[in-house]
Structure 1
């Protein structure tokens, strides 16, 4: 009888267990943002940023995609958020963009924690029109990731020049070169279509 009472009374509620798991997941991230009112009715989202760091955001259970995106933009202090979006993978590892008008839980079937990638959603047709240095830097990081992953082809001469600039620590020259490469890739994409 005592064994039964100990098992019954010793059990934690499901909400307590879920909250503890969310807190543990959030502690693995480099930054934790608590935007949820009550911790029992929250969902945990992890966002991988372009610089390799990740942010853990705790949101209300019925939060829409715009709330998560706004928290990330606020964290990054980004003035030009129109170019960016949050991407997630479905169970078949197919990437999808998070719809800012819909509930997060209805769009993702895998989670919690719900995992996202902060990425460039819309490329500017004129990269010289990017106003903020942070936006240009994030474009640089995205292009660098795309070249290294093989999503973007880079001519050999340009790759050598990029590597030299990276070794010298000359990020400004690398940025200009990547923006030039970016315009070349855009013209190739337009020609293919």
Structure 2
């Protein structure tokens, strides 16, 4: 059976599994494809054919996939997500590949507004992000490109009171922080990024819609 799986780096890849495959079988195939040795921090969610994924429900690892998916679904579409976020003081992210995907998940949480934080903290997180991606600061232009991504987060999603002036302040702060990181290696920048993100209230929190049950008494 062909499954579509969206990875944390944005790639949408086809994975073939047996018809009676369980969630654990699919997760093992995905982790093998990505060369992830430690599967424990990760999980799969059913995408319902949407892109970006609407995280409808977690895939149960002990149950056959076909028993978890509606027969109306023409495509079995899933997304790999970080299920158990690394926490201080023992942030077990020394394995490069696990740290890489953990960072990708937290970046995604920031850009979607799921992980909320004050402007200064966002500036510092962005500076670590830039250091990891581009290394030592060389040009304001590179930093401005990432700043554009955060404008939606800061203004459109949950901070609509922000104005153009605050955007400029944020960008200047982010550029200066990036400049101060010097020749810090990407691995160290990622570790600082995760440690700072882990201090935020909504770090690693999965949100689900809730409905009030109304009962009537006759």
Same fold (TM over 0.5): yes
**Deviation of the 1:98 alpha carbon:** 0.6
**Deviation of the 1:186 alpha carbon:** 5.7
- CA distances 1:82-118 after superposition (whole Å, capped 9, x unpaired): 0001111459x55211111111111111523211110
Matched, 1:182 2:202: no
Instruction: State the distance in 2 between where 1:76 and 1:188 align.
Output: 24
Secondary structure of the residue aligned to 1:181 is: helix
- Aligned residue in 2 for 1:81: 39
- Aligned residue in 1 for 2:117: 154
Shift in alpha-carbon separation, 1:157–1:80, aligned structure 2, 3 A = same
Q: Which structure has the highest strand share of the two?
A: 1
Secondary structure of the residue aligned to 1:57 is: strand
Instruction: State the distance in 2 between where 1:186 and 1:139 align.
Output: 17
**Deviation of the 1:80 alpha carbon:** 1.4
Secondary structure of the residue aligned to 2:200 is: helix
- Aligned residue in 2 for 1:60: 18
Q: Which structure has the highest helix share of the two?
A: 1
Instruction: State the distance in 1 between where 2:17 and 2:115 align.
Output: 35
Matched, 1:129 2:87: no
**Deviation of the 1:158 alpha carbon:** 2.3
Shift in alpha-carbon separation, 1:84–1:188, aligned structure 2, 3 A = closer
- Aligned residue in 2 for 1:50: 8
**Deviation of the 1:78 alpha carbon:** 0.8
Q: For this pair of structures, how many residues does the alignment match?
A: 148
- Aligned residue in 2 for 1:108: 69
Please report the RMSD computed on the Cα atoms of aligned residues, expressed in angstroms. Answer: 2.7
Secondary structure of the residue aligned to 1:142 is: helix
**Deviation of the 1:176 alpha carbon:** 2.9
Matched, 1:140 2:103: yes
**Deviation of the 1:61 alpha carbon:** 1.6
Unaligned ranges ≥5, structure 1: 1-42
The TM-score, its normalising length taken from structure 1, stands at: 0.67
The TM-score, its normalising length taken from structure 2, stands at: 0.60
**Deviation of the 1:44 alpha carbon:** 1.6
- Aligned residue in 2 for 1:117: 79
Higher relative contact order, chain-length normalized (CA < 8 Å, sep 6+)? 2
* Larger Rg over CA atoms: 1
